[in-house]
Amino acid sequence: MRVTRRAFLQQSGAGVGLAALHSLLQQEGRCADRNVGPIRTPHFAPKAKRVVVLWQGGAPSHVDLFDPKPGLEALRGSELPESVRSRARLSTMTSAQGRYPILPAIRPFQRYGECGMELSTLLPHTGAIADRLCLVRSLHTEAVNHAPGVTLWMSGSQIPGRPSFGAWTVYGLGSLSSNLPAFVVMTSSDVDKTCGQLFFDHYWGSGFLPSKHQGVRLRAEGDPVLYLADPPGITRELKRGALDDLAALNAKHLAEFGDPEIDTRIAQYELAFKMQASVPELLDLAGEPENVLALYGNDVHREGSFARNCLLARRLLERGVRFVQLMHAGWDQHQNLATQLEVQCRDTDQPSAALVQDLAQRGLLEDTIVLWGGEFGRTVFVQGDVNRRDAHGRDHLGSCFSMWMAGGGFRPGHVHGASDDFAYHPASDPVHVHDLQATLLQQLGFDHTKLTFRHQGRDFRLTDVHGEVVKGIVA
Amino acid sequence: MVVSLLIALARSFAPHGDAPVDAPVDFARDVQPLLSDRCFKCHGPDEAARKAGLRLDSREAALAPAKSGNVAVVPGDVAASELVARITDANPRKRMPPASSGKELSDAERATIVRWIEQGAKWAGHWAWEAPLAAPLSDVRDAAWCREPLDRFVLARLEHEGLAPSVETDPITLLRRVTLALTGLPPTLDEVDAFVADTSRDAYERVVERLLASPHYGERMALAWLDAARYADSNGFQQDGDTYQWVWRDWLVRALNEDVPQDRLATRLLAGDLLPAATALERLDQQVASGLQRCALLNGEGGAIAEEQRNVLVFDRVDVFATTFLGLTAACAQCHDHKYDPITQRDYYSLFAFWNQVPESGVPPGDGQYRIADPWIQAGTPEQHERLAALETAAREADAAVAAALADPAVANAKSEWDARQREAFAQVELGPWDASTPFVEKSFDAAYDFAAGPDTNRERVAVGIAPAEWIPRPDLVDGVVHPLAGDNTAFFFRRAFHVAAPTTLGLHFGSDDALRVRLDGRLVLERKVTRGAAADQERVQVELRAGAHELVLQIVNRGGPGGFWFEARPAAAPPELTPTLTDALARQASARAERDAMRESLPRVMVMSDAQPRATHVLARGNYEAPLDPVDAAPPAFLPPLPADAPRDRLGLAQWLVAPENPLFARVLVNRAWQQFFGSGLVKTAENLGLQGEAPSHPDLLDWLAVELRTTHGWSMKALHHAIVTSATFRQSSRVDGERGAQLLARDPENRLLARGPRQRLPAMMLRDVALAASGLLVPTIGGKPVYPYQPADIWDGLAITKERDFAYPLSSGTDLWRRSLYTFWRRTVAPGNMFDASARQTCKLRSPVTSTPLHALTLLNDPTWVEAARALAQVALQERQKQLDSNGRQGQQQPQVALRLADLDAPLTLAFRRVVARAPDADELALLRRTVERARASFTADRAAAARLLAVGASPRDATLDATFDAVDHAALTVACLMVLNLDEAQTCE
């Protein structure tokens, strides 16, 4: 005898189909809210609906890439004035270094675009989109070490445990997609693994927010999402049938028990089944035209590369993923500036610019924030021996660094703030990490002081108790 | 007139739905939370942030004139109360609280405040600051319903709300509920059958006794502690070195199983290291207990500023203490006086002082897999310590054998002659003073150790042949004394020139913290890479010297914390080949010592507490360690009772203060967390915060009554409290919310705070896995030990693998370690186990983890090999049972042809599998659905038999090949699919 769902439900006396049962329960208020739309009302009309973070872990040298100081050539090898140096904390890798000789940018700068933005010639592709960029040269942070620096950037505090920016965003705005997670993370690292920067899952964690808001890591090896693949030997059809039976069993229990959580569970199992199809579809690049692949550069064909992740980021954003966080490690050049800086630029410059262009040509850039940068900057003085070019490096510098934004209502073709003569401290319009976070939230429609979550009796927010919106960087 | 309008307004809003408008306003419940949440930020305890000199957190202040001269609250006089004028100002820009704060009052809230003033502005201190008093048991109409005194409080509230409790749940559901609640495991079928068959009055009582005595009780109860303790098996951050804190975890499980009274438990956790101990083992045990405070994140990133990190560690300990033991959120007061609770910044640093005496640098030293920061002890089982004691005895005996060999007059004479010659030669040795280099700080211990021998020729030059001008003369470094050295991951070099007149054999003796390397005339003569404290004569080497000048270069490498070295030159101890007996004895002595040292090093090194480094504590401006203000002494917060007069001003004194009857918080916090564990929500929902911003207790009298009971009647026994809770009528209620009553109950009280029904909670992920393992028979119930590495995706730690400093490949366990309880799964702090969803991140203290439901959870339970293997094993158990039945039905001895399971045959194995997971038997409809799953799967696998084989190959547990004699592998695979669905039932994932 074959037992159909209808037969079961008739047998069990309900006499209604699953859908009818569901609607019945919904009327009774026992069905979970399946709405995927905004879960909190924005405070302003949002300028941006999506975010993609192109994280450059290890901290790119603003001295060499974004903040030209032609005057430094004349000072090559001379000591960085004590009055400049002593106002900023250094890591213990150089705080006891006896000498602090100045090393000017290792490559020339050049003006790009109609706006004439000065960038290193190591970044020609970024230069080509200069008119779309809003570059901030006066950022600063308290952190002098990587993990606390990244943690501050991602969560507003140097100490792990708070929700990440992405988690706050999806907590505030909800999901736009019914079959992909709202917050997706991808990682990559420099090919030679010289950098040693690690990706901790609290960089995309939900802290004290419900864990459904945490980022889901899309992995380059194995299952792209943990446990996405069906067990060996179980076909899609078999899974479908088994899940139908499971849903019927759970629905029966729901009818008897009445707990709306059961209905939520039924819905999540359906979503999981859908994700098993939508994720592979997302990762299948067969439909991408040659010219688009070429835009991202040759590295796009390498699994797990930053270029590949940039293209996938576009595909995710197109499919309604709210927040995409690409984490690249490679910029911690303490003694290999001469070789690795160029390699990192080669691997990230073209794909970063390609993503901006690709989003623009699809009309997505307008309401997508693209953000490029790392946890801090690097010192103008050399770490190590100034006379040994092949061992040149720079230490961490929290007191001044640069980042760029594109799209999402940020002022295009604009440079905000300036640093002092040594790119060591902001000289005008300083922007703290919390200020930038406040501004990013504003573009997403939120007053950063009001997007809060009560935990331990206190209303926590991304910007802790700090942050001022930076008016000059938004259009 | 405005005031009469206000009063009209006030009358139109009753505080609680149907309460009459003149009903008295309850200050603690209705008014204080409003004042705290909406007003205290600017008009609360934080003096620096206070506006207009107005303070609303104390009655005195609120009734006194503010800066303006106006009085905020005039009891009984609404018109004269400035507070009323300000919160009802018609001009929205003047109205308080300001719109920009996002804290505006609703009309009903305004009305509550107005009515409260109208009724005389009765004030009360915050309930949680007063020590709990046992309230008289509430009067109830249906006293017969109550089984435990606690039920009276619950029922009284229900009767007040016009609600009736739910019926008692059925015995099987109750048994599963209580078994999961107390042991984290499902009941076995035998336990279910026995309970159902047991009609005696105390059947349930005896089940509870059995469960409380189970060794799995401690494992279950440890789970919440591990979240509170931010327990992990690694430090976190960049190098994420492993730790041995699992020794503390085992201590905890043992203490919970032994039901160590909570006052003693807390004392050991907080100050075990400061307690007197009768024996060395007892001392060790107490020190291990204090390891709670050393389970924190440690940042070993190159370049980390040690003092900054050290302060972060102390902040973290204050947070764990305040949150876990007091239910207070103190962290706000790091930077300024607390905005809501009366904790001043000074109070905060007075607490801070208790933890500011630890001899630690702030960063974990070292390299390699384990990174253990000072202070630590060598723990180990009593057996291991016995073994160590035996080896120490053996080493002493070997020493004695050397002495005995020397007892032979011939040998002794020869040796003394030899010694005399040596002394004579030694007298000719002219030792110069030490020179020292500047310290070389490296990124890691290894790097500092390899400093001299590294491939970098630039450094080689520095280390081995430092130019004379770079050596600093240190005549103060006299011989025979331990000289302290400071600096983590630092290499120190010492040089000494000396001269011998004639060829000589010389003994060089060293002590070092930690590693050392000795070069003589540029030649390496001794190296020892260890971590230890420096003491006299830890290493020795005998060197042959030609006449003339020599140079000794000593490299000491300190891993972290204090470092140091010790040196002496002595006449050579014994000639190389004096007598066979002596030579032999010396050889045995060397090997005995080596064995003893190896054993010492094999013992787990547990980070524990110590107050060995007294430091002055200051208030830190905005929490900045570089900005000290006033000095403070160690003391509990001033608004709470003072330290007992005779208590020491250290953590031990603090523990005495904590467990004293006057302490208003500790017992309540314990009771509340226990309640949360059994009912999903505490009596105070904000378990981590009993302060003004916390939620008011749903049953204040019950909370206080239980708190007093715990301290007095129960003698701080947590098992006694748990017993009272699980035997109560409240706990035994059905959790169903079906039908009209259920719908109303859900609408009225979705979170079940009124307790008109039993608890229904999704199990934590750790327990979900344990249930799957237990139901399938795979569970290996061994208690305690090193963490294990069950199934995880092979590349789970890939994010970490980019560091070259160590191998971060996942070291998958083999054998029984694959099926241990989840509690023992290695918890890498930077990358939590992939299948432990909704878990605390183990970075900061966490007392509540919200339960969520996402597709990722479904993917885990459907596809993770952990569950697939469990389903396969569960199907196997069911088939084995079926085979037994077939055999006992008179088929023994006959070789049966392999037969496909007929539909009718399926019911028994399906029922068995179902019961092993959810305890109850499936009904006919459920069986029909499960049969359909089997049929679908059978069709799929019959078409592709290889697919069945692939499914049956999941997991390392061997498949019972004897099943093939009776059943087709396709049937086993098909039943596996059905079992996987059973493990995925909502009911299977829930304690209901």
Same domain as B564, residue B483:
yes
Residue B876 lies in a domain: yes
N-to-C CA span, chain A: 69
Contact B784, B755 (CB under 8 A): no
The backbone region for A40, taken as left when phi is positive above 0, alpha when psi lies in -120 to 50, beta otherwise, is beta
Same domain as B110, residue B28:
yes
Same domain as B442, residue B399:
no
Q: If you count residue pairs, one on A and one on B, with CB atoms under 8 Å apart, how many are there?
A: 296
Angle at B720 between CA B714 and CA B725, to 5 degrees: 120
Task: Lay out the sheet containing B504-513: strands in order across.
Answer: B483-486, B562-571, B504-513, B539-545
Residue B960 lies in a domain: yes
Residue B167 reports pLDDT greater than 60: yes
Report the pLDDT value the prediction gives residue B800, as an integer from 0 to 100.
66
Tell me which H or E stretch contains B762.
strand B761-762
Residues pairing with B473 in the sheet: B435
Band of residue B492 on the pLDDT scale cut at 50, 70, 90: confident
Report the pLDDT value the prediction gives residue B150, as an integer from 0 to 100.
97
Total domain count for chain A?
1
Window 339-378 of A: residues touching B by CB (8 A cutoff) are none
Contact B683, B672 (CB under 8 A): yes
DSSP symbol at B499: E
Burial class (CB in 10 A: 0-12, 13-18, 19+), B242: buried
Same domain as B552, residue B594:
no
Largest CA distance in chain B: 120
Nearest by CB: B977 against A210, A242, A395? A242
Q: What is the ipTM of this complex?
A: 0.81
Report the pLDDT value the prediction gives residue B15, as an integer from 0 to 100.
44
Which amino acid, one-letter code, is at B412? A
Residue A109 lies in a domain: yes
Residue A99 lies in a domain: yes
Same domain as B565, residue B423:
yes
Domain encompassing residue A85: 43-221+303-473
N-to-C CA span, chain B: 57
Contact B407, B590 (CB under 8 A): no
Optimal mutation site among A206, A234, A449, A459, interface B, most CBs of chain B within 10 A: A234
Same domain as B423, residue B388:
no
Total domain count for chain B?
4
Length of chain A: 475
Same domain as B536, residue B590:
no
Residue A453 lies in a domain: yes
Residue B557 lies in a domain: yes
Chain B contact for A8 (CB, 8 A cutoff)? yes
- Per-position DSSP letters for B847-876, written without gaps between them: S-------HHHHHHHHHSHHHHHHHHHHHH
Residue A24 lies in a domain: no
DSSP symbol at B157: H
Mean pLDDT by 10 residues, chain A (475 residues): 35 38 40 43 87 96 97 93 86 79 95 97 98 98 91 92 93 87 91 74 87 86 90 97 97 93 90 93 94 96 94 96 95 89 95 98 97 97 83 93 97 97 96 97 94 83 92 92
Contact A370, A356 (CB under 8 A): yes
Residues pairing with B528 in the sheet: B516
Cβ distance A226 to B860 less than 8 Å, yes or no, reads yes
Q: Which two tokens stand for residue A419?
A: 């640093």
Tell me which chain A residues have a C-beta less than 8 angstroms from the C-beta of B862.
Answer: 227, 230-231, 239, 269, 272
Higher-confidence residue of B901 and B553: namely B553
CATH number for the domain that contains residue A102: 3.40.720.10
Nearest by CB: A92 against B304, B747, B805? B304
Cβ distance A238 to B977 less than 8 Å, yes or no, reads yes
Which of B67, B102, B125 is a domain's end point? B125
Tell me which chain A residues have a C-beta less than 8 angstroms from the C-beta of B794.
Answer: 222
Band of residue B505 on the pLDDT scale cut at 50, 70, 90: confident
Report the pLDDT value the prediction gives residue B468, as an integer from 0 to 100.
44
Residue A34 lies in a domain: no
Beta pairing, strands A216-217 & A323-329 = unpaired
Residue B680 reports pLDDT greater than 50: yes
Nearest by CB: A223 against B793, B868, B954? B793
Burial class (CB in 10 A: 0-12, 13-18, 19+), B399: middle
DSSP symbol at B105: P
Residue B537 lies in a domain: yes
Q: Which residues contact A327 (CB under 8 A, 6 or more apart)?
A: A55, A57, A185, A186, A187, A188, A199, A203
Report the pLDDT value the prediction gives residue B7, as an integer from 0 to 100.
53
Largest CA distance in chain A: 92
Same domain as B966, residue B944:
yes
Tell me which H or E stretch contains A454.
strand A453-455
Report the pLDDT value the prediction gives residue B773, as an integer from 0 to 100.
98
Contact B365, B489 (CB under 8 A): yes
Report the pLDDT value the prediction gives residue B667, as an integer from 0 to 100.
98
Residue A51 lies in a domain: yes
CA pair distance B596, B378, nearest whole angstrom: 14
CA pair distance B842, B823, nearest whole angstrom: 13
3-state secondary structure of B36: helix
Residue B73 lies in a domain: yes
CA B455 to chain centre: 42
CA dihedral A342, A347, A353, A359 (to 10 degrees): -170
Q: Is the peptide bond before A81 cis (omega within 30 degrees of 0)?
A: no
CA pair distance A119, A65, nearest whole angstrom: 6
Rounded to whole angstroms, what are the CA distances from B842 to A156, A166, B100, B377? 18, 20, 36, 23
Which of B81, B108, B125 is a domain's end point? B125
Quick: pLDDT tens for B212-261.
999 999 999 999 999 999 999 999 887 788 999 999 999 999 999 999 99
Residues pairing with B618 in the sheet: B631
Cβ distance A201 to B303 less than 8 Å, yes or no, reads no
Q: Which residues contact A383 (CB under 8 A, 6 or more apart)?
A: A93, A94, A97, A334, A335, A393, A394, A395
Residue B17 reports pLDDT greater than 70: no
Window 22-61 of A: residues touching B by CB (8 A cutoff) are 28-30, 32
CA pair distance A425, A304, nearest whole angstrom: 36
Cβ distance B930 to A245 less than 8 Å, yes or no, reads yes
Length of chain B: 992
Short-list B831, B957, B458, CA closest to A187:
B831
Residue A272 lies in a domain: no
CA pair distance B223, B488, nearest whole angstrom: 35
Report the pLDDT value the prediction gives residue B537, as an integer from 0 to 100.
80
DSSP symbol at B678: H
Same domain as B497, residue B391:
no
Domain encompassing residue B403: 381-408+586-603
Report the pLDDT value the prediction gives residue B79, as an integer from 0 to 100.
87
3-state secondary structure of B521: coil
Contact A245, B930 (CB under 8 A): yes
Report the pLDDT value the prediction gives residue A195, as an integer from 0 to 100.
66
CA pair distance A226, B56, nearest whole angstrom: 52
Report the pLDDT value the prediction gives residue B897, as an integer from 0 to 100.
55
Report the pLDDT value the prediction gives residue B949, as an integer from 0 to 100.
96
Q: Mean pLDDT for chain B?
A: 88
DSSP symbol at B661: T
Same domain as B570, residue B425:
yes
CA pair distance B756, B749, nearest whole angstrom: 9
Residue B282 reports pLDDT greater than 80: yes
Band of residue B454 on the pLDDT scale cut at 50, 70, 90: very low
